[in-house]
Structure 1
Amino acid sequence: MKIRLLVGAALLPLTFAMAAQAADVAPSAVIEPAGDGVIGRVVNADGAPLPGAEIVERGTGRRVVSNTQGEFILNGVSGQIELDVRYIGLPSASQTVVATPGRLTAITVTMGGGDVTTVADVVVTGVITDSVARSLNQQKNADGTINVLSADAIGRYPDPNVAESLQRVPGIAIQRDQGEGRYINVRGAPSAFTAVSVDGVAVPAVDPGTRAVDLDTLPSDIVSNIEVSKTLLPSQDADSIAGAVNIRTRSPFDTRRLAFSGYAGGSYNDYGGNDTRAAATVSNVFGENQTFGALLSLSYSETNRRPENIENAWVEGGSSYVIEETLFKQYETQRTRQALTGALEWRPTDQTRLYVRGSYADFEDNEYRNTLILGYADGALQAGATDTTATYTGARIYRGLRHRTQNNQITTLVLGGEHTFDNGMIWDADLSWADSEQTYPHRDELVYRSTPTTLSYDTRDHYAPTYFYAAGNPIFGDTATGFFATPGNFSFRENTFRSNTTQQEDVAFRTNLEIPSQFAGREVDWKFGLKYATRDVDADEERQRDRASSANPGTLASLWGDTQGRNFGYQLGTQYDKGLVDAYLAAAKGSSPRRMPDSLTADYTAQEDILAGYGQARFDVGATNITVGLRVEQTKFDGSAPTYSIDEDENEVYATANVSRDDTDFFPNLTVRHAFNDNLIGRFALTRSISRPEFNQIVPRRVEEVDGTELSASFEVGNPDLQPTLSNNVDFGLEYYFASLGVVSANAFYKDLTDYRYVLNYQQDVTIGGVTYVDADFSTPINAPEGHLMGLELNWQQKFGFLPGWMSGFGVFANFTVTDAEIKTGQNYGGRNTFDLPGQSETNYNAALFYEMAGFSARLSYTKRSDYLEEINADNADLDLYVEGREQLDFTASYDFGNGFEVFGEAKNLTDSAGVKYYGSRERTYEYEKFGYNAFVGVRFKY
């Protein structure tokens, strides 16, 4: 595959060189190219490009919009023409142009450099207001419904990764891991319903269990802007039911001069440790006519934290619900992010450009976890249990130390180019390579287990339960004493070793041809394109375990250090010495038993090839812009997984299970934008989209975790017949833009879902090798025949420039999203066949008050989402797993000295909000985790 990439990379520049010299030939007699026009840039008084500017030819009303670098092409005009250019936040401009017939005439339009003639156009300049203007102009003039975050806007929030930046966008909520955003939910949809790309290159997921991209791997400071498309056009990949996120990195032609910028700073974390973050970007353009450009950007961050965590596993116990296991987790984590982006671009003329862009992001989570487990289920439940109290005899306590290292890497590389012919046709093509890899070099753990004892609990205060041993003695008092703190009560139980490597490699070629024309007496822009993408997935997992006496490292006391554990006020006693345990694990791993045979079945390979083609036409009917088209995607999938079993003669049997599929799907599209006037925009879209199954779900794998000694078993079963989820979408909305910089909007959506896939969890008895496992846990993905997701987004942004004096520096951001969703299954589970959509919060909102004046800027921001379903329990609705809604208050402030230097400070999670999960009811808390607040200070610099 990499050879094909190199060959294609060598041929692509040659192809473009030949195309640029080719004669301008009309493609057919039916579609006649326009032939005349203007090619240009829109910039501000400082020469910075203005994206989303609207350019209108006064005589004919022809309209175009500048791209992210302020560039535009207006076809079908010649002779002396008058251009009107509008950009929210700057005074409108007009420019007379003499367009030469038969070719494209190059111009530059400068806005904001002349006298202000309209009071409504006066805008106080500043970083926040400039970023708002850039976003609003792109959103207003886009054909579909989009939201845009610029780099400056991202920098005004305390958001270290892309996931946390996106939570500020209307309709987007995030899922967190240890307090940091990881996945996004767009418009209440599951995270896998949103595709992510970097510079147009589709990013494969790093986690083998989902197609959703771990956005905490990508630091926010590599971003030039982020565009979220909530309605798709035929020219976009169809695999985004909720929306498509495209992360654009910086270009040397953003500034077209030697430019250097960066920042550095450090922080204090409420729950231990500190942060260090720094980034730098340098770029320049070269050559006599500044036709070459180069850019390099570096980013580094290190986060040290000690979040506190308690988990309770609930089950049905007779007439009540009881806890079968409680885990106290004492974390010590270090997370590092490193990123590199680069670009080389060549623009020999205004009509031709070639480029190479690449990005690399590395995320490492190095974690030690002291764990104390109350193993109630090892014993016998006593009579008299209630929903809040229970007693077990013969229970055990476990003490363990796990050392886990997780490493994620995402790499993208794209080589491409674009040429605009004199007749107005635009041809572009690119060849891309993306690689995502997740490795767990080790997930190693040492566990000691106590002798049997009596344990009980009381959860009437469900966030702060009390726990007892023997005759009602509190387990965790003011000091760490008693049964669990006595080393002699514990003996070696086991060591376990687990490692994973998953790699996804994607190679794609894409080409598009855009033809401006006269068709049926109307100006029509035709666009056609092809894309071929092939993705290879390779997942490998290994597990080892040793309980033999020869693996015993000695007494528990011989491995203890001098640190006392504390978790939410519970005194957890002396903790393991991680150095001693690491040394033991390193020595024991080489002598542990061979790889557990059933862990082979966790491995799999897959290849997915997608061939796509589309055609679309865009035309205007008065003030209405219409895009209509069709996209077709053919998906070929091949997957395989090892199988393991024991035959009647007790022999191990190894084989391979395979699956092959071939599907073709059609995606019609109608997108309408209507300008009622210069300020009021209406939108309507009928689209169709797809979400393909996760690779690990569709391959025929059966992952078993069986403990013959404990008589416990769990099974993860693949489903080769799992179908992709298809969605027919209706979107409509109204947006009113204030000339003084602001917008108020309402956007409604409805998604009709077919074959929504979900993971079904259930229990049943199973016999393996003559041993019966009672109530073994099973999970398998299946399709729900029907479902829907609908909602309403409300958004208000405004700079209060109309207020007098210093008060004019205030402004507000506020958005609110309400959704309703459900899926209907083909059979009843626990007496029901209708479920909430996993990952969907009924409400989600953001509110921020900002102030900017004379170099000072500040922003107080608040975000909250309501509860959402995470997992469905097939047998009992009371054991469905929910994530409790979470709120967070953040504050940022900065002062710009006007000489390129700026000091800033951030305060994050001022509400000290916890992360909570529960089973069915909030009283049955599954997980309670707190992270504390974070305060960061630093300096920014720009040249």
Structure 2
Amino acid sequence: MKLQLLVGVAVTPLVLGLAVLPQVANADSLVAAAASVPAGEGVYGRVTDANGAPLPGVEVTAQGRRAVTNTQGEFHMTGVSGEVVLQARYIGLPTATQSVRVQSGQMTSVVLALGAAEATSVADVVVNGVITEGVARSLNQQRNADGTINVLSADSIGRYPDPNVAESLQRVAGIAIQRDQGEGRYINIRGAPSAFTAVSVDGVAVPSVDPGTRAVDLDTLPSDIVSNVEVSKTLLPSQDADSIAGAVNIKTRSPFDSRRLSLSGYGGASYNDYGGEDIRGGLTASNVFGANEQFGGLLSYSYSRTNRRPDNVESGWTKMETPDGEEIFALEESLFKDYETERTRQALTGGLEFRPNDATRLWARGSFAKFEDDEYRNQLLLTYDEGDMVAGSNSRKATFDNVTVERQLRHRTQVNEITTLTAGGEHIFGNGAVLDGSLSWASTEQSYPNRNELLFRSKLKPSVTYDFTGDHYEPTYSIFSTQEHMDASQYGYRETAFRSNTTEQEEVSAQMNLELPSRFGDQEVTWKLGGKFRSRDVTADEERFRTRRAGDGPSQSYADLLGDSESRNYDYLLGHKFNNGLVDEYFASARDLADRRMPDSVVSDYEAQEDILAAYGQARFDRGATSVTVGLRVENTKFEGSAPSFVVDANGDEVYSISRVDRDDTEFFPNLTVRHSFSENLIGRFALTRSINRPEFNQIVPRRVEETDGSDISYEIGNPDLKPTLSNNLDFGLEYYFDGLGVLSANAFYKDLSDYRYTLVYGEEVTIDGVVYDAEFATPINAPEGHLMGIELNWQQKFSFLPGWASNFGVFANYTYTDAEIKTAEAYGGRDTFQLPGQSENNYNLALFYENAGLSARLSYTKRSDYLEEINADDADFDLLVEGREQLDFTASYDFGNGIEVFGEAKNLTDSAGVKYYGTRERTYEYEKFGFNVFMGVRFKY
């Protein structure tokens, strides 16, 4: 292996020999060497592989100074002069050195190419496979970062059967995902709630799509638009402070990744165990042009369409008194859902860049992602608590007379859109100072163009027995034997409901950073100062309509609206499916006949504006093998929100008004981050940081919203006094990097939480503004105390030390243990200490891979333990928990060596279900299965 070094304006190639990176000398001698050179002298440039692709995470050292290349392979180093010996170290490639002359008082431009064309055989290159290339890029960036980070490269992402960014991130140590219909949507880092993680695309903060949380719906973003994903688990002062758990930055591709005409793409289709089809495809084109190839352009498009037909049963539990006078757990209702869902995902990214030299770059980048879920849901609803319990019933088996039986078709269309635009530049001055800035705009929109419901009720009031004594996931229900629900002649029109809503979030931001090398006494110190302004506007508008007039119902009978296909859920026969076309025609004609529901169509609306002004300063210096960053960030938050409200006056009349909230908070975020190299391979890290999570917009505005699910009615009310959650964080860890390609690491963390924000659900009868509501009532409040702590263990290694065929195997394994709790200001149901919602105690990932010549294969397993989703203020038996889930996936590919690669993916081979339960697993609330998926496709690259 050789290192090619290009120096100066003429860019003269020099062929370098191999060298071993020397052991770090004592700190005093290194500091003395660095102090003898003026800070304005040094080198800047980039490091590439033999094909010209940038190498991120390369450690470049000289005269006691150290620099690390960014994702574009760029670096700059000040404080060196004269005859400088540059040393470049990259895990997976041999270390190389070379002398270069740096003129006094000047910054000298260099280009280093690891893996020169003179390498004569594959044996010269340690990194020689798609999986190992991805691992090498990730490990080098992680090893040389100042803080604790994890990196997923595009190569690594492509080796897993993960259609979106959330699914890709579940492979990272300490990250678990929350799913919707079996597909990952939100991430939990280190057991923290999903809202504790900020997400950005190319450095642009992405507003949430879902108005109910600040967490970003990562299922909207397909994984194939990604160049790499960087997860910062400890923050620096230069980063936004709103990431208690971690910050995720999704970086899209750059035309300067290859610096030539480049075309790549893929396409394929799949088989779904539960029916339907899955097609995916993507194309990326980029090129550089101009007299000196100083301009670059890139365009990328991705498309996928999936049909999903999961089986789903929901059971609403309560406590009832039997005719015998005994209190038991009993079902209020059973809801059987037969889904037909078409889910499409599209993404478009583009970029223009101008790099007249290695000291200057300007860019404009944009991305657009659209997620659409078009869902028909045939439902059978059994309502027990409107009937009469029969004597002899118990908590596992009960019989009810006069059970209400209903059939419903819901047609719901959900559309999520995420758009980001950014323009900026960076320049390295002759004295080594670096100035960068950007202007950005980001917009998200979640809309439900239609949420239409048609409900029929049977005249029959049968006796129904349910039995959970056997399989509590799939209990028996007597009605599927007696089949009263199958008598179509007994159903009459009950209700038509229409609901549409749109939530838009728009954020503009501007930031500037100045990095300035200097001398503080006899110590070389790099100062970094900056400021940022972010302004986000949120608007939410909802409309609700309903009619129960018989004359507004369909002209057809219930039976005439049914099709020929049976509607099944697991082994339960629900009846026949509705004819979607006929029902949609009825919806179109009936919408204008329905009455607007007031005040529900008004009180759901709200507006909010949040302005954040931030400034920071940090200093970074090296003392021998130790790098220290110390600094302070200050963020001022101004918030204004308003929502319509209806209150009942003394005369019993509803009075309309606008309720408003205004907030102004300033918080300080001190930071100390230390990285120490005990040796070339053993790295230690320590960090003391502070971070924040601001309240969700819909929780802080003063509004009250009614929600219905089947026959259940609940109310959500905002809390204008809600405080942001603050966290003081302690992190420390050790990482040992193997000489071949791998790492063994342990990272411990402790987060001291104040004013943790959680939602309590209260019982059946609630008084609000003088009105008594017979429904559940949920409101967010702060818990004064809380903590989150744990440890991450991670092992990645290619078994190159083994003989023969065994050397082609490797392993990825990680385990995270977390312990967390919150302590409330008052007791609820005799409790004042709770598990942290969203926190799994155990999280595992294990993958075994094989790579030889053009063949790559990986078998991966992931699992997380149970976690709390919702706290019940009245009774711990009705805390809502999510059952832990495991999944086994497999992917394999063969590269023919001519730019063509065939691949196959198998997902959820364990046929794992999604389960929620109240209190104990036997009281199953939701049981949903998705089946497995097999995907085959072709990739190409030019």
2:270 aligned partner? 267
Aligned amino acid, residue 79 of structure 1: G
2:688 aligned partner? 686
Match of 2:252 among 249, 261, 284: 249
1:731 aligned partner? 731
- Single out whichever of 439-448 and 572-581 deviates more from structure 2: 572-581
The answer to whether the 8 A contact 1:487-1:555 is kept is no
Give me the whole-angstrom Cα distance separating, in 2, the residues matched to 1:652 and 1:790.
49
Match of 2:464 among 455, 462, 470: 455
Aligned amino acid, residue 542 of structure 2: E
Match of 1:48 among 50, 53, 62: 53
Change (3 A) 1:489 1:105: same
Partner-residue secondary structure (3-state), 1:312: strand
2:832 aligned partner? 833
1:209 aligned partner? 212
Partner-residue secondary structure (3-state), 1:923: coil
Q: Deviations over 1:149-200 (max 9, x none)?
A: 0001000000000000000000000000000000000000000000000000
1:675 aligned partner? 677
**1:395 Cα offset (Å):** 1.8
**Runs of 4 or more consecutive aligned structure 1 residues displaced over 6 Å after TM superposition:** 114-121, 767-771
Q: Find out whether 1:747 has 2:751 as its counterpart.
A: no
- Single out whichever of 351-360 and 588-597 deviates more from structure 2: 588-597
Match of 1:704 among 697, 703, 706: 706
The answer to whether the 8 A contact 1:234-1:614 is kept is yes
Aligned amino acid, residue 475 of structure 1: I
Q: How high is the TM-score relative to the length of structure 1?
A: 0.93
Give me the whole-angstrom Cα distance separating, in 2, the residues matched to 1:570 and 1:714.
28
Give me the whole-angstrom Cα distance separating, in 1, the residues matched to 2:745 and 2:653.
67
Give me the whole-angstrom Cα distance separating, in 1, the residues matched to 2:548 and 2:122.
80
Give me the whole-angstrom Cα distance separating, in 2, the residues matched to 1:291 and 1:646.
68
2:7 aligned partner? none
Equivalence map 1:606-645=2 (5 Å): 606-645=608-647
**1:119 Cα offset (Å):** 13
- Single out whichever of 912-921 and 379-388 deviates more from structure 2: 379-388
**1:771 Cα offset (Å):** 8.2
The answer to whether the 8 A contact 2:631-2:670 is kept is yes
1:10 aligned partner? none
Q: How high is the TM-score relative to the length of structure 2?
A: 0.93
Partner-residue secondary structure (3-state), 1:727: strand
**1:408 Cα offset (Å):** 0.1
**1:390 Cα offset (Å):** 1.6
The answer to whether the 8 A contact 1:320-1:387 is kept is yes
Partner-residue secondary structure (3-state), 1:224: strand
Aligned amino acid, residue 49 of structure 1: P
1:322 aligned partner? 330
Equivalence map 1:236-635=2 (5 Å): 236-318=239-321, 319-451=327-459, 452-468=461-477, 474-477=478-481, 482-553=483-554, 554-635=556-637
Aligned amino acid, residue 810 of structure 2: G
Aligned amino acid, residue 583 of structure 1: E
1:661 aligned partner? 663
**1:648 Cα offset (Å):** 5.4
Change (3 A) 1:713 1:163: closer
Aligned amino acid, residue 549 of structure 2: A
- Single out whichever of 75-84 and 693-702 deviates more from structure 2: 75-84
Q: Find out whether 1:180 has 2:188 as its counterpart.
A: no
**1:349 Cα offset (Å):** 1.8
Match of 2:142 among 139, 143, 151: 139
The answer to whether the 8 A contact 2:142-2:151 is kept is yes
**1:706 Cα offset (Å):** 8.5
**1:595 Cα offset (Å):** 3.6
Give me the whole-angstrom Cα distance separating, in 2, the residues matched to 1:935 and 1:911.
13
Give me the whole-angstrom Cα distance separating, in 2, the residues matched to 1:879 and 1:609.
39
Change (3 A) 1:252 1:120: closer
Give me the whole-angstrom Cα distance separating, in 1, the residues matched to 2:64 and 2:135.
27
Partner-residue secondary structure (3-state), 2:52: coil
- Single out whichever of 344-353 and 212-221 deviates more from structure 2: 344-353
Change (3 A) 1:770 1:87: closer
The answer to whether the 8 A contact 1:92-1:111 is kept is no
Aligned amino acid, residue 404 of structure 1: R
**1:394 Cα offset (Å):** 2.2
Give me the whole-angstrom Cα distance separating, in 2, the residues matched to 1:902 and 1:783.
53
Q: Find out whether 1:169 has 2:168 as its counterpart.
A: no
Partner-residue secondary structure (3-state), 2:275: coil
Partner-residue secondary structure (3-state), 1:236: coil
Give me the whole-angstrom Cα distance separating, in 1, the residues matched to 2:786 and 2:669.
19
Q: Deviations over 1:309-359 (max 9, x none)?
A: 011011111321111010100000000000000000011121111100000
Aligned amino acid, residue 424 of structure 2: G
The answer to whether the 8 A contact 1:752-1:787 is kept is yes
Give me the whole-angstrom Cα distance separating, in 2, the residues matched to 1:136 and 1:604.
45
1:21 aligned partner? none
**1:577 Cα offset (Å):** 0.7
Give me the whole-angstrom Cα distance separating, in 2, the residues matched to 1:342 and 1:417.
17
2:92 aligned partner? 89
**1:509 Cα offset (Å):** 0.3
**1:43 Cα offset (Å):** 1.3
Aligned amino acid, residue 795 of structure 2: W
Q: Deviations over 1:181-224 (max 9, x none)?
A: 00000000000000000000000001000000000000000000
**1:467 Cα offset (Å):** 4.6
- Single out whichever of 45-54 and 204-213 deviates more from structure 2: 45-54
The answer to whether the 8 A contact 1:462-1:924 is kept is no
Partner-residue secondary structure (3-state), 1:453: coil
The answer to whether the 8 A contact 2:630-2:673 is kept is yes
Partner-residue secondary structure (3-state), 1:97: strand
- Single out whichever of 731-740 and 387-396 deviates more from structure 2: 387-396
**1:65 Cα offset (Å):** 0.5
Question: In percent, how many aligned pairs have the same letter?
Answer: 68
Give me the whole-angstrom Cα distance separating, in 1, the residues matched to 2:100 and 2:643.
65
Aligned amino acid, residue 39 of structure 1: Y
**1:805 Cα offset (Å):** 2.3
Q: Which runs of 5+ in 1 are unaligned?
A: 1-31, 469-473
Partner-residue secondary structure (3-state), 1:139: helix
Give me the whole-angstrom Cα distance separating, in 1, the residues matched to 2:357 and 2:891.
43
Give me the whole-angstrom Cα distance separating, in 2, the residues matched to 1:843 and 1:358.
38
Q: Deviations over 1:468-520 (max 9, x none)?
A: 5xxxxx3224xxx7210001222111001111100000000000000011111
- Single out whichever of 161-170 and 393-402 deviates more from structure 2: 393-402
Partner-residue secondary structure (3-state), 1:378: coil
Change (3 A) 1:875 1:771: closer
Q: Deviations over 1:384-423 (max 9, x none)?
A: 3311112222220110000000000000000100111000
Give me the CA root mean square deviation. Answer: 1.9
Give me the whole-angstrom Cα distance separating, in 2, the residues matched to 1:139 and 1:714.
46
Partner-residue secondary structure (3-state), 2:836: coil
Q: Deviations over 1:255-310 (max 9, x none)?
A: 10000001000000000101000001000001111100000000000001110001
Q: Deviations over 1:578-600 (max 9, x none)?
A: 11111111111111112432331
Give me the whole-angstrom Cα distance separating, in 1, the residues matched to 2:771 and 2:79.
79
- Single out whichever of 820-829 and 594-603 deviates more from structure 2: 594-603
**1:107 Cα offset (Å):** 1.2
Aligned amino acid, residue 419 of structure 1: H
The answer to whether the 8 A contact 2:127-2:136 is kept is no
Change (3 A) 1:198 1:771: closer
The answer to whether the 8 A contact 1:122-1:740 is kept is no
The answer to whether the 8 A contact 2:127-2:133 is kept is no
Partner-residue secondary structure (3-state), 2:172: coil
1:874 aligned partner? 873
